Structure 1
Amino acid sequence: MGDADRTAVEKANAEFYAAFEAADLDRMSAVWAAGAFAPGVSCVHPGWPMLRGREEVLRSWALIMANTTYIQFVLTDVETDVYEDHAVVTCKENVLTADEDTETGFLAGGSIVATNLFVRDGDGWRLLLHHGSPILNTTEEE
């Protein structure tokens, strides 16, 4: 395990966010675990109930991508821990979104804390669990 695994996990984590920003369902599908791991694939989008199973999770991403005009992530406080065949990435997602349907092209921002659990399979590191939780009413002093 070591720097090569850490780098590979961080690359897989970055691809997860890049696939979402690009609204590319094929890329998103490639990020998530499959095969024997498929039934255990799980996702909690902020404010959503737990989604379980690869198909259900990918359907949710298709729905979100179809209804997201623009999204950008700036990740901070990224921590990566590798434990043999699984790895955990925790981070703060600083999110910018926009809506082309409004006159001003409404831009909104928010912060989410996320936990991403990756498993090593024959094709490298794949996402098994994503859990995002909004950060509410933060102040500079916290």
Structure 2
Amino acid sequence: MTPRTAEARAVERANQAFYDAVENSDLDALESVVLDGPLAESVAVVHPGWPVLRGRGEVMRSFALIMANTDYIQFFLTDVEVGVDGDAAVVTCTENILTGGPAEDDGSAGSLVGGLVVATNVFRRTADGWRLWVHHGSPVLAEDDDETAEAEHEE
């Protein structure tokens, strides 16, 4: 294994830890993934449909709100690409999100909704490992490539 491959794998593990923390509504785990220290005020996030949030405190509050108001969320990551250059790394991926409301009275799953978000996650190497510096998620509005091609053909 080359050092670059090892670094890319370490970044991919940090990326997965980010999604696991959100999926499990584990704010403590998220705290350990998000960059702190001297660059804490440069941490930024763009949730789909939200303005840019800056500063670690504001970013952590936003995730706490999301966790408190989401009964169920699961991420299936696809198209994951990792690039590492020195102390910075970029991960792009598609978040295939399954989310839902509270369980029914009989204990069965509540209504579930799926959605697609493309995400860019920027990580910074620290003495404690890779930490999330920037997360930007944008909803995918096109259904699939066939529909996009048909729409372009019609123009």
Matched, 1:131 2:136: yes
Provide the residue aligned with 2:15 in structure 1: 13
Give the CA deviation at 1:3.
Answer: 1.3
* Equivalent residue for 1:94, pick from 89, 93, 96: 96
Higher relative contact order (CA 8 A, sep 6+): 1
Greater than 4 Å deviation, 4+ residue runs: 101-104
Task: State how far apart, in whole Å, the 1-side matches of 2:79 and 2:9 are.
Answer: 16
Task: State how far apart, in whole Å, the 2-side matches of 1:102 and 1:131 are.
Answer: 33
Q: With the length of structure 2 as denominator, give the TM-score of the two structures.
A: 0.88
Q: Secondary structure at the match of 2:77?
A: strand
Give the CA deviation at 1:139.
Answer: 2.5
Task: State how far apart, in whole Å, the 1-side matches of 2:98 and 2:65 are.
Answer: 19
Give the alignment of 1:1-142 within 5 angstroms: 1-100=3-102, 105-141=110-146, 142=148
Question: One-letter code of the match for 1:115?
Answer: T
Give the CA deviation at 1:57.
Answer: 0.2
Q: CA RMSD in A?
A: 1.4
Q: With the length of structure 1 as denominator, give the TM-score of the two structures.
A: 0.95
Task: State how far apart, in whole Å, the 2-side matches of 1:139 and 1:58 are.
Answer: 33
Give the CA deviation at 1:137.
Answer: 3.1
% of aligned pairs identical? 56
Structure having the higher Rg:
2
Task: State how far apart, in whole Å, the 1-side matches of 2:141 and 2:133 are.
Answer: 26
Query: Which residues of structure 1 form unaligned runs of 5+?
Result: none
Task: State how far apart, in whole Å, the 1-side matches of 2:73 and 2:101 are.
Answer: 9
Q: Secondary structure at the match of 1:3?
A: helix
Give the CA deviation at 1:105.
Answer: 1.1
Give the CA deviation at 1:128.
Answer: 0.3
